[in-house]
Structure 1
Amino acid sequence: MKWLKQFLDFYLNSSIHVAFAVYALSVVTLKRFGVIYDVNVLFFNFFATITGYNFVKYFGIAKWHHRSLAKWLKVIQVFSLLCFLLMCFFTLKLQEETLITIAIFAVITFLYAIPFLPKTWYLDTQQNLRDISGLKVYVIALVWSGVTVVLPLVNNKVAFSETVIITVAQHFVFVMALMLPFEIRDLRYDSIKLATIPQKIGIKRTKVVGFGLVLLFYFLEYFKDNIQSNYLLITFVISLMLAMFIYFSGNNRNKYYASFWVEALPIIWMLLMLV
């Protein structure tokens, strides 16, 4: 079973799982708007997620410890390079309007990882958006909602409408709620200067906030045009599961609880939509 654990760790550490989650939310969007399966934008999102996440996670390590990189990290570097090349390949197949949208979110991701702020702004050892007090969860939710809703719809020339805005807001709220188990898990390790939600209000109140976000996520479905009972049922099931994940989250849970099971919820959402 040792090889299975090693494979699972690589699967998680190389950001493949989170890439499947972004891919799944993109499929949910296309399905919800009746768009035919768009291979180019879906695979772009998949490989761009791996590239972006690994860049954010390992940029500092690779920069300062390049010669002494652990073997697993070197493998992830090579894997990330391959994913970057595949991302570039699918980028060339996207619409011009989509590329403009991608550039906006790429800049946000870049600023999230790279030190650029004056020293009077940053709170920790890095001068980037990631270290601004309380900003992390909002930046991630913004990028996820943008790449999983705006990108697929722009690439398929879906008209901008009130339902699109509601869907962006729904994905934003969903991702914020989805991140709370991660925030709770990392409570023991995050610098107090990051001012995460659990650090500010504690675990119990964080869960209450999470339940509020779940309710908002569900009831936003009623504000969309052409409300369908099957979508309401699927959204209810996902909301219930998300609420349960938040309820049972803790800073002493198994490391796979958030990294694998919670992160798998978008994939479950996609499977329910496809069924």
Structure 2
Amino acid sequence: MLRQIFNFYINSSIHVALAVVAMTWVSLVQFEIGYDKNVLVFVFFATITGYNFVKYFGVAKFHHRSLAAWLKAIQIFSFFAFLGMCYYTLKLNLNSLIYLAVFGVITFLYAIPLLPMRYFRDSQKNLRQVSGLKVYVIALVWVFTTVFLPLIENGYHINIDVVITGVQRFIFVIVLMLPFEIRDLIYDSIKLATIPQQIGVRNTKIIGILLLVLFFLLEFFKDDIERVDIISNVVMLITTLCFVLFAHKKQFQYYSAFWVESLPILWLIVLLMLS
């Protein structure tokens, strides 16, 4: 029973939603903005809705009547998450809604086969299947959700420090996805052209190390450098580096899906303790 509950927690995207919420909260702490319940709860419900839509749309549309019990439960759960997202959408300001509309379209195109066939290498027609694009689309959406959305909602001026934070977050999310891409080497079509498929596992880890160093060094290009941010970045650099270095194709079942996905939550905990 506990294993089934835990699997539902992972497969229904609750864990990744908490990770996105944590990273959004990190931005609120870094830019000294107070706790924003509306944004954080919206992000939680929107992440569940978006991730489950992308993950299960292709399965559900062809097997609606023969869905496994766990998938039906996730569908019902996602429906209520969607309702929650709609409710908290109404609590956001107009500027936030405009930006959300743009990234809502990206999420839609990521799952729905609408784009012309000539842009793809295989039979799929959605952004998710464009060769080498998946990791960058996900990182871009995470950056908007966790950095720009909370700042726009709170009327924070978008300055150079915000832009640098966005670049750091983009880099960090890409590195977080490397253990997933290494794990999925066994399952992914070669036509997806993921980073490990193109350069191999060893070089992928080297790229991960270099990106983490860049993530850390960018902190010193900000106008406002905080000791707390530097310490928390060091903790995240070391911890994330360990997970990247120990990632391999035959991972423990929850290595990436739970532990790697928990790193943003760790980041928030470290920041709150230091603050």
TM-score > 0.5 by shorter chain = yes
TM superposition score normalised by structure 2: 0.98
Structure 1 residue 5, shift from structure 2 partner: 1.1
* Aligned counterpart in structure 2 of residue 79 of structure 1, from 60, 77, 98: 77
1:140 maps to which residue?
Answer: 138
CA distance in 2, matches of 1:84, 1:226: 38
2:7 maps to which residue?
Answer: 9
CA distance in 2, matches of 1:38, 1:272: 19
1:65 maps to which residue?
Answer: 63
CA distance in 1, matches of 2:35, 2:123: 43
Aligned pairs, how many?
Answer: 273
1:254 maps to which residue?
Answer: 252
CA distance in 2, matches of 1:246, 1:45: 27
* Aligned counterpart in structure 1 of residue 150 of structure 2, from 137, 149, 152: 152
Structure 1 residue 143, shift from structure 2 partner: 0.4
SS at match of 2:118: coil
Cα shift readout 1:153-192 (whole Å, capped 9, x = no counterpart): 0000000100010011010000000000000000010000
CA distance in 2, matches of 1:153, 1:5: 38
AA at the equivalent of 1:114? I
Cα shift readout 1:118-153 (whole Å, capped 9, x = no counterpart): 222222332011111100000000000011001000
AA at the equivalent of 1:83? A
Structure 1 residue 255, shift from structure 2 partner: 1.6
SS at match of 1:117: coil
| Contact preservation (8 Å) 2:161, 2:224 | no
2:198 maps to which residue?
Answer: 200
Structure 1 residue 222, shift from structure 2 partner: 1.1
CA distance in 2, matches of 1:206, 1:172: 17
CA distance in 2, matches of 1:86, 1:206: 38
SS at match of 2:40: helix
1:31 maps to which residue?
Answer: 29
What are the residue-to-residue correspondences of 1:231-250 with 2, within 5 Å?
231-250=229-248
What are the residue-to-residue correspondences of 1:208-247 with 2, within 5 Å?
208-247=206-245
CA distance in 1, matches of 2:19, 2:219: 20
2:107 maps to which residue?
Answer: 109
Q: Does 1:273 align with 2:271?
A: yes
Give identity over the alignment, percent.
57
TM superposition score normalised by structure 1: 0.98
AA at the equivalent of 2:70? W
Structure 1 residue 225, shift from structure 2 partner: 2.2
CA distance in 1, matches of 2:76, 2:166: 34
AA at the equivalent of 1:168? G
CA distance in 2, matches of 1:25, 1:240: 17
1:22 maps to which residue?
Answer: 20
What are the residue-to-residue correspondences of 1:163-202 with 2, within 5 Å?
163-202=161-200
User: Which runs of no fewer than 5 residues in structure 2 stay unpaired?
Assistant: none
Cα shift readout 1:36-71 (whole Å, capped 9, x = no counterpart): 101111111110000000000000111000000000
CA distance in 1, matches of 2:263, 2:158: 27
* Aligned counterpart in structure 2 of residue 49 of structure 1, from 47, 50, 68: 47
